Amino acid sequence: MTEYTGAHIQVLEGHEAVRRRPGMYIGSIGERGLHQLVYEVVSYAVDEHLAGHADAIDVTITAEGGIRVADNGRGIPVETQEPHGKSAVELELTELSFGSKPRTGYGVSGGLSGLGLCVVNALSSRLTVEVHRDGHRWTQEYEKGVPVTPLTRNGQTSEHGTAIAFLPDADIFETVRYSFATLSERFRELAFLNGGLAVSLTDQRPERPVRHHHPDGLRAFVARLNPYPTSLLHFPAIAFEAENESRTISVQVAMQWNTCSPGELHSFANSTRTREGGAHEEGFRTALTDLVNEYARRQGHRSADDEDITAGAVHQGLTAVVAVKLAHPVFEGPTGTRLGNPEADAYVREVVRAHLTDWLDHHQKEAASVIRHILRASPSPSR
């Protein structure tokens, strides 16, 4: 038998563990994982917005193919942390278990729940962090996750915020070429989901700037998804939002029926696109289907003995965006493709029932058009 002893157990440092198995942290080493690096850094900046300390994020694809993300938030703390003997900046960028940012309100905007900066650093051939905080500009440089300079205090400044510039490691990724269109679409989503946030993207390969800022939020998002006004069954889109008393969960919804599409539902949790749905989507679909059936019977379109209108008919031609923020999100998968929080299901049901009932009661003409449309998509009732 081959001898197996404690000497065979490897203990990897943070950056070594990430570089050995990058797919565990960012999903893949292809184009999807490459773009996930950007989303992790941007998520950290969005956290500053959610905490009320930033309203602008500037992202640049540099001429050499790297990324620079700058925000006007508080700036990563620079003081030395005991017993580590390292600055908070260095701990954020090198320790998988650190995470110095206080989690207030809706803890994280998405991503790896505080691990993102360390992972990005480990998977970059070079990374430079620049912090404007406490009246000075601070800088530090890294190579493949390892600091190559100490945190250095530079000249005085009245600015505040953090800028992180990194070059993805070509030895790890299948491609290191970023897509302007992919990044721009994601930042457009973030601007829709966070109405007071402006996100700009500049491409220096050649330069191609774009700025996303949508104060109308999800209603503007739905308007973009429904570009044909003549097909709309009601205008403007139905939009509402709510937050529970303990401020541990909030929900935003915008929705609009039209006659020319099969329907589409976009869902988000803490600004992360949940492409595989989850509890918040289930709560929305269930509440909407139940409410439409109740309303159709109350208005005489269905009798008590008729079969229920199906969820498929209710969602025919419906464009909707459902976004929740949670203090403690539970994502399935490392990049958050499905939300697992059961409280999101219950709260979304409660909010949708309350607000959509109110809309139906106060917009009877538009409600009648919607119900007629749904009934045309529904099989004839049978007893």
Dihedral sign for Cα atoms in the order 214, 336, 181, 169: positive
CB 131 within 8 A of CB 70: no
Q: How far apart are CA 302 and CA 317, in angstroms?
A: 20
- CA distances 4 to 7, 20, 178, Å, are 8, 22, 44
> Cα 204 from chain centroid?
25
pLDDT in tens, 215-227: 999 999 999 999 8
Higher pLDDT, 99 or 322: 322
Lowest mean pLDDT among 28-42, 109-123, 197-211: 109-123
The mean predicted confidence, pLDDT, of the chain is 89
> What's the mean pLDDT in 53-78?
96
Q: How far apart are CA 94 and CA 145, in angstroms?
A: 6
Query: Domain coordinates of the chain in residue numbers?
Result: 14-212, 218-377
CB atoms within 10 A of CB 121: 28
pLDDT in tens, 127-150: 999 999 999 999 999 999 999 999
Q: How far apart are CA 380 and CA 377, in angstroms?
A: 9
Strands (E), 205-248: 210-212, 238-243
> Residue 50: what pLDDT?
87
> Cα 348 from chain centroid?
18
In this structure, what DSSP letter does residue 34 have?
A: H
- Assess whether pLDDT exceeds 60 at residue 3: no
CB atoms within 10 A of CB 294: 15
pLDDT in tens, 255-269: 999 999 899 999 999
Higher pLDDT, 84 or 49: 49
> Residue 331: what pLDDT?
87
Q: How far apart are CA 112 and CA 66, in angstroms?
A: 21
Residue length, the chain? 383
> What's the mean pLDDT in 287-300?
96
Q: Identify the band that residue 114 occupies on the pLDDT scale cut at 50, 70 and 90.
A: low
Is the bond into 83 cis (omega within 30 degrees of 0)?
Answer: yes
Which architecture characterizes domain 218-377 according to CATH? 2-Layer Sandwich (3.30)
Interhelix angle 364-377/279-298, rounded to 10 degrees, is 100
Sheet containing 238-243, strands listed edge to edge, beginning at the edge strand earlier in sequence:
238-243, 249-257, 318-326, 264-269, 272-273
CB 60 within 8 A of CB 204: yes
Question: The whole model's pTM is what?
Answer: 0.85
Interhelix angle 218-225/180-193, rounded to 10 degrees, is 130
pLDDT in tens, 355-382: 999 999 999 999 999 999 999 988 766 5
- Assess whether pLDDT exceeds 90 at residue 169: yes
Of 166, 159, 157, residue with least CA distance to 117: 166
CB 131 within 8 A of CB 89: yes
CB 327 within 8 A of CB 248: yes
CATH code at 14-212: 3.30.565.10
Percent of the chain at pLDDT exceeding 90: 72
